[in-house]
Amino acid sequence: DTAVSQTPKYLVTQMGNDKSIKCEQNLGHDTMYWYKQDSKKFLKIMFSYNNKELIINETVPNRFSPKSPDKAHLNLHINSLELGDSAVYFCASSRSTLLAGDNEQFFGPGTRLTVL
């Protein structure tokens, strides 16, 4: 009955490689997000999709490319990994942000990426 799930939980890779992190939610939500948490635990939003459409695209290197095949999935692909990409990446989902009212975001368990 997991609400927001991410795979893998841990990812260790070499600089220059390309990797993907997958996220799935079974809450019936329309909006999904990717956040990056750095080594000082600071969390910052990277992307958000509403019903497969990109609505937030922060200042993120274009080596990062989100893909939403359907509204229940939001994957994050990273090309040419760099040391500075090492972080914990969190996926989240909420009801559609286009609806009035407060839309609580539900977070996944995170993916710890280590670039060597």
Binding site for another protein (CB under 8 A): 4, 31, 33, 40-45, 48, 55-56, 90, 92, 94, 97-98, 102-110
Q: Which is nearer to another protein, 19 or 110 (CB)?
A: 110
Q: How far is the CB of 18 from another protein (least distance, A)?
A: 25
Q: How far apart are CA 74 and CA 81, in angstroms?
A: 19
- Encoding tokens for residue 75? 């994957």
At residue 15, the 3 state secondary structure works out as coil
Do 25 and 93 meet the contact criterion of CB atoms below 8 Å apart? yes
Q: How far is the CB of 43 from another protein (least distance, A)?
A: 4
Q: How far apart are CA 7 and CA 3, in angstroms?
A: 13
Q: Which is nearer to another protein, 90 or 115 (CB)?
A: 90
Q: Which is nearer to another protein, 65 or 103 (CB)?
A: 103
